[in-house]
Structure 1
Amino acid sequence: MSMIRVENLTFAYPSSYDNIFENVNFQIDTDWKLGFIGRNGKGKTTFLNLLLGKYEYEGKILSSVQFDYFPYNVGQKEQWTEEVLRQVCPLAEQWELLRELSYLDVREDALWRPFSTLSNGEQTKVLLAALFLNEGHFLLIDEPTNHLDTKARETVSAYLKKKKGFILVSHDRCFLDDCVDHILSLNRASIEVQSGNFSSWFENFRRQQELELAQNRKLKKDIESMEKAAQRTAVWSNRVEASKYGNGPVDRGYLGHKAAKMMKRAKSIELRQQRAIEEKTGLLKNLETVEELKLSPLPYFADTLVTFKEAAPVIDGKRICQPLSFEIKQGDRIALDGKNGAGKTSLLKLLTGQRSESCGTITMGSGLVLSYVAQDTSQLNGTLSEFAENNRIDESLFKAILRKMDFSRIQFEKRIEDFSAGQKKKVLLAKSLCEQAHLYVWDEPLNYIDLYSRMQIEKLIQTFSPTMIFVEHDLAFRNAIATKTVEIKK
């Protein structure tokens, strides 16, 4: 066991407008299973890169352990998987590799296949297994769940629960709850380390904010009362002082003493007021305000929007999943469930016209308007204004939605390709929220999206009840909004 100490850490990118970290201090134990959470763009991946020594910074990061990073960059994916893993953990024995793969439900023959032929989920699992075999290293795991289906998330979560010595960046609440014992949170004005899982951290954070809101309301009332009392006392003091003159014979000493006493009281009230103001300014710095989003789904003239009858996507003449028969009716929010590679994305692309080859029949209602959120954000580029113009959406509304999703105005001046992965996904979601549609087709909309925005989108869907068909492996989100689940099998 050893400690990783961060002392007076300050960092900003050369082209940045402000510091990402400023005089940050905390320490973590290398035996912890540490969940790392925070809003998109707040610096989670940046901090991992600072631990890896990729950037220059002010302050100190003190550690006696070597850091490994996931996702591991595989240069030659045509190599056998075993060869790739030998580069990741050169001292591990083959039996150790096979043991770790068995824990992760990966078949042995994966070692003797080209790495490129493994699914994204299999690649995630084998690389995690290899990285954990580097004895004495501390693993930095950056959003591993984005390529994992629901079953795989459960498997990897159970695997991580048996390990120790890692930082895990994830926005999946159930995943975090199942495998971490501490939380490192990037708040708006501070960084905190706390024992427990995500749910216990969130409950403590919520209670702290409620307490500070109550204190803030009380102090506000106290300050207003003290302001009025100070004004009254000052007026009385001035009147008494003025009465010493021009009113015939009076005891000027007594009146002067009385005026001085009132003035002293006014100063005392003013001092208490200043202390209350200082106390008030220390509150609510980390308050997360999640503004409500709006959506304008179009009503459809018929109850049934889409009918699938023995339908399945076909690629290179081969059906990629078992035929499906189901209907999308008004008000349905259908979650497509299935393993990676089962054909979920291909099915959604059939709906949106991006794929045409299929078996069976898909009958779509006349004049049906769709709004699509793609899984991939790699093609996004240019400015937000150009994006709005190219997609024929109202720029003011588009940017107003992004502001509600925690975009700063400074972000509007950057190019989309310079955004974080979560911010890019928010661009696609904001576009969809600008569109009036009968059916919303969302393919893994929450990849890289922060926890607060996930809950914000949950509330939006529950409030406006759009008709949807979607793929999402975040179990908490899916349980909150899905009205039906359609299982897709290879």
Structure 2
Amino acid sequence: MSLISVTNLTFAYEGSYDNIFENVNFQIDTDWKLGFTGRNGRGKTTFLNLLLGKYEYSGHIAAHVGFEYFPFQVEHKENNTIDVIEDLFPDYVQWKLIRELSLLKVSEDVLYRPFDSLSNGEQTKVLLATLFIKENRFLLIDEPTNHLDMHARKLVSDYLKTKSGFILVSHDRSFLDNCVDHILSINKTSIEIQKGNFSSWWENKKRQDQFELAENEKLRKDIKRLSDSAKRTSNWSHEVEKTKNGTRNSGSKVDKGYIGHKAAKMMKRSKAIEQRQQSAIDEKSKLLKNIENADSLEISQLAYHKKQLVQLEHVSIFYDEKKVCTDINLMIEQGERIALSGQNGSGKSSIIKLICGEELNYTGTLRKDHQLQISYVSQDTSHLQGKLSDYAAHHGIDESLFKSILRKLDFSRVQFEKDMSTFSGGQKKKVLIAQSLSEKVHLHIWDEPLNFIDVISRIQIEELLLEYAPTILFVEHDKEFCENVATKIIEL
């Protein structure tokens, strides 16, 4: 066991006016299984790069271990997997590699296949196995779950549960809950560490947020009451002071010393009230700094004149005469939220593309009215470029609604002026989801919409789908999201 100490860490990218980190202090035990969470764009990957020494910063990071980052960059994917591993780790011990592959349920024969012929899940598992045979290293594991199906996520999470000495960036709640024992969270104005898994951290955060909101309301009322009292007392002191130059009702002369003393006493009281008011304002300013902008979202889906929107009967889909899925029967009715589930390669995306109107070779019957309006969110975000305003105009959606949804999903106004090609993976996915939610359609179809999207935004989207109950067909490997949202799960 050793400690990684972060002291007064301050960092901003060159040319930026805003610090990503400012005077950050904390310590990490190298035996921890540390989950790393926070909104998209808050600096999770940046912090990992600071640990790796990629950027200059002020402050101090002290560690008695080396760091290793996942995912590895594979330069020659056409090479056999065994050669790829040797390029990454020339001194590896083969029996240790075979042991790790076995724990990840990967057969040894993948080592003698070209790396690019492996599925996304197989590639992830091979690289994780390579990562964990490196000794005396603290591991920085950055979003390993993207493109892993639900079965593979459970397998990888169980694997990580047996390990220690890592920081794991993931937005999958079930995945984190199963395999971490501490949470490192990047909040709006601070970084903090708590013992426990994601769910215990989230419950603590909600309790803290509720406490701060209650304190904020109490202080707001106190400030108003003290402000009103200060005004009344100040007015009284001025009125009393004015009588010094007048006379009493009896006609006798005014006791100026008495009235002056009374006015001074009331002015003193007024000052005391103002000080208490300022103290309450100062206290209030310390609150709400880490409460996330998690406002509810709003959509309105078009009603359709039929209850039944889409029907597939005994559908089989082919690519180059290879059958991808067989004898699929599926009916989508208004108000249903259907999750398509199954291992990668089982034909989920093919079914979605067929319903969306893509020309595919298939047998069986597809019934879909030509008037049916569909909004599709694809896995691919590589086409996003240019300004958000131009994008909204090109797609014929309401720009103010589009940007309002993005604001609620934690986009800063500065982002609206940037080119979308510079956005993070999570921010690009949010653009596609905001576009979909802005479109007037009868049916939403989303293909792995949550890849790269932060946990808090996932919870917002989840609550939206539960509140407005749009008709939606989706593929998603986040177990908790599927279980909470879907009215029906179809396993392929």
Deviations 1:433-481 (A, max 9, x none): 1111111110001111111111111111112211111100111110111
CA deviation after TM superposition for structure 1 residue 355, in Å: 3.9
Report 1:21-170 matches (<5 A). 21-170=21-170
Deviations 1:150-208 (A, max 9, x none): 01111111111111111111111111111111111111111111111111111111111
| 2:177 equivalent to 1:173 | no
Distance 1:386 1:296 in 2: 23
The residue that corresponds to 2:460 in the other structure is 456
Q: Which amino acid aligns with 2:140?
A: L
| 2:369 equivalent to 1:365 | yes
The residue that corresponds to 1:435 in the other structure is 439
The residue that corresponds to 1:218 in the other structure is 218
CA deviation after TM superposition for structure 1 residue 251, in Å: 3.2
Mapped contact 2:85–2:130 kept (Cα < 8 A): yes
Deviations 1:263-305 (A, max 9, x none): 2211111111111111110011111131221222222222221
List structure 1 runs of 4+ shifted beyond 6 angstroms.
none
Mapped contact 1:329–1:467 kept (Cα < 8 A): yes
Q: Which amino acid aligns with 2:471?
A: T
Distance 1:257 1:396 in 2: 60
Report 1:224-303 matches (<5 A). 224-247=224-247, 248-303=252-307
Distance 1:118 1:136 in 2: 29
Q: Which amino acid aligns with 2:5?
A: R
Deviations 1:307-342 (A, max 9, x none): 112213211111112321121122221111111122
RMSD: 1.5
Moved more, 243-252 or 328-337: 243-252
Mapped contact 2:80–2:113 kept (Cα < 8 A): yes
Distance 1:109 1:390 in 2: 49
The residue that corresponds to 1:348 in the other structure is 352
Change (3 A) 1:354 1:51: farther
Q: Percent identity?
A: 60
| 2:479 equivalent to 1:484 | no
Mapped contact 1:124–1:147 kept (Cα < 8 A): no
Moved more, 222-231 or 446-455: 222-231
SS of structure 1 residue aligned to 2:244: coil
Moved more, 146-155 or 233-242: 233-242
Mapped contact 1:374–1:444 kept (Cα < 8 A): yes
SS of structure 1 residue aligned to 2:294: coil
Distance 1:278 1:146 in 2: 44
Unaligned 5+ segments in structure 1 are none
| 2:201 equivalent to 1:197 | no
Mapped contact 1:346–1:355 kept (Cα < 8 A): no
CA deviation after TM superposition for structure 1 residue 234, in Å: 1.7
How high is the TM-score relative to the length of structure 2?
Answer: 0.96
SS of structure 2 residue aligned to 1:436: coil
Mapped contact 1:304–1:365 kept (Cα < 8 A): no
CA deviation after TM superposition for structure 1 residue 226, in Å: 1.3
Distance 1:7 1:373 in 2: 42
Mapped contact 2:317–2:326 kept (Cα < 8 A): no
Distance 1:246 1:291 in 2: 60
User: Which of the residues 374, 378, 381 maps onto 2:378?
Assistant: 374
Deviations 1:12-70 (A, max 9, x none): 22243422222222221111111111111111111111111222222222212111111
SS of structure 2 residue aligned to 1:347: helix
Distance 1:160 1:360 in 2: 43
Aligned length: 488
Distance 1:12 1:104 in 2: 39
Deviations 1:232-254 (A, max 9, x none): 22222223323233214343333
Q: Which amino acid aligns with 1:45?
A: T
The residue that corresponds to 1:4 in the other structure is 4
User: Which of the residues 411, 417, 421 maps onto 1:413?
Assistant: 417
Distance 2:35 2:192 in 1: 12
Distance 2:333 2:234 in 1: 71
How high is the TM-score relative to the length of structure 1?
Answer: 0.96
User: Which of the residues 391, 396, 400 maps onto 1:396?
Assistant: 400
Distance 2:201 2:491 in 1: 34
Distance 1:211 1:485 in 2: 38
The residue that corresponds to 1:318 in the other structure is 322
Deviations 1:208-240 (A, max 9, x none): 111111111111111111112222222222233
Mapped contact 1:91–1:134 kept (Cα < 8 A): no
Distance 1:331 1:237 in 2: 67
| 2:388 equivalent to 1:384 | yes
User: Which of the residues 438, 443, 449 maps onto 1:445?
Assistant: 449
Deviations 1:352-373 (A, max 9, x none): 2234212222221231111100
Mapped contact 1:89–1:133 kept (Cα < 8 A): no
Distance 2:44 2:10 in 1: 14
Q: Which amino acid aligns with 1:433?
A: L
Q: Which amino acid aligns with 1:455?
A: I
The residue that corresponds to 1:475 in the other structure is 479
Distance 1:426 1:312 in 2: 32
SS of structure 2 residue aligned to 1:212: helix
Q: Which amino acid aligns with 1:306?
A: V
Mapped contact 1:5–1:26 kept (Cα < 8 A): yes
The residue that corresponds to 1:426 in the other structure is 430
SS of structure 1 residue aligned to 2:401: helix
SS of structure 2 residue aligned to 1:264: helix
The residue that corresponds to 2:13 in the other structure is 13
